[in-house]
Structure 1
Amino acid sequence: MPTHSRHFVRASSAGALLVVSLSACSPIVDVDAAPDAANPACAEVMIALPDQVAGNELRETNSQGTAAWGDPSQVVLRCGIEVPGPTTDACASVNDVDWIIQESTETDIWTARTYGRNPAVEVLFDPNQVASSTVLVDLGGAASRVEQTEQCLSLNDTVELPEEG
């Protein structure tokens, strides 16, 4: 009888619980599907996903609109999350894809969500294990399959600052 082991990765983002099941037969990553995972635009994202992200191989997941890379999982993607509204969270534009970046105060897991795209894509990763810039570059092509209708702006773009002098 094969030996099975289970590793649990918890992410505080949107109540997502990622359970990574490892076994000798079929390493399938258990990822909760996002509420709008059946959106046809998510299918476009999923077929454009790379085989590797930050040097980690794509693995099979058990939910629609999800993907994971690495063993154990280093990067997890969910398409169809709630579209983020205006925020004061950090925003980064990487290869014409705007991402809202949130660092968890409880874990080392970071969450990056596309901004200005419906459906939105969420990526969870540990920046101590994979470089955030590499993850966002590797996944930007797939995320860009969803049309961008709004841009993420910094505070300097939206507020007129008094001139010095």
Structure 2
Amino acid sequence: MPAADDANNPACAEITVRLPESLGAEGEFPRRWTDAQATAAWGDPTAAMLSCGVAVPGPSTLQCVTFGGVDWVVDISELPYQRITTYGRNPATQVYVNTEVISPSVVLEAISPKVKPIEATASCVALEDATPAPAPTDG
């Protein structure tokens, strides 16, 4: 696993030291050693991978879910894998989940409390509640 661009962010160190030793029922997916800064993986074969310090996502029409007070943007373009990234937090944390092996809900329930201490500066809104961008002006 390569380290994310902002993996050196001190907040990423705070997250990675608090990550769970396993995911799933009764420690079904134990944490595995990774050699890239601010990363983690669980299971063999891998059920979920985490990278802290990824690019902070901007507004999106992708689905947004909330677990433990943390908003996550869900990208399902690579099913059965889901790429799920915190929204409104810098640094951003991303989990890559094999949905054939573990439920993304199980992963997010375990990870959300660990990233919640990063201050939220934005939150997801429903598409119908989004404020449209101002129209360009001819000047």
- Name the TM tier (shorter chain): 0.7 to 0.9
Pick from 131, 135, 146 the counterpart of residue 107 of structure 2: 135
- Distance in 2 (CA, whole Å) between partners of 1:33 and 1:53 is 21
Q: Any residues of structure 2 matched to 1:66-145 within 5 Å, and which?
A: 66-105=39-78, 107-145=79-117
Secondary structure at 1:111 match in 2: strand
Secondary structure at 1:61 match in 2: coil
Counterpart residue number, 2:134? none
CA apart distance, 1:52: 1.1
Structure 1, residues 56-80: CA drift from partner, whole Å, max 9, x if none? 1011001000000001111000000
Counterpart residue number, 1:60? 33
76-85 vs 45-54, which deviates more? 45-54
- Distance in 2 (CA, whole Å) between partners of 1:147 and 1:62 is 27
Aligned length: 128
Secondary structure at 2:101 match in 1: coil
Sequence identity of aligned pairs in percent? 40
- Distance in 1 (CA, whole Å) between partners of 2:96 and 2:16 is 16
The ranges of structure 1 where at least 4 consecutive aligned residues each deviate by more than 3 angstroms after the TM superposition are none
- Distance in 1 (CA, whole Å) between partners of 2:18 and 2:129 is 32
Pick from 49, 53, 57 the counterpart of residue 19 of structure 2: 49
The CA RMSD measured in Å over matched residues stands at 1.2
- Look at both structures and tell me which one has the larger radius of gyration over its CA atoms: 1
Counterpart residue number, 1:36? 6
Q: Is the contact made by 1:65 and 1:80 (CA closer than 8 Å) also made in structure 2? A: yes
Structure 1, residues 53-104: CA drift from partner, whole Å, max 9, x if none? 2231011001000000001111000000000000000000111000000112
State the TM-score, normalizing by the size of structure 1. 0.74
Q: Is the contact made by 1:116 and 1:149 (CA closer than 8 Å) also made in structure 2? A: yes
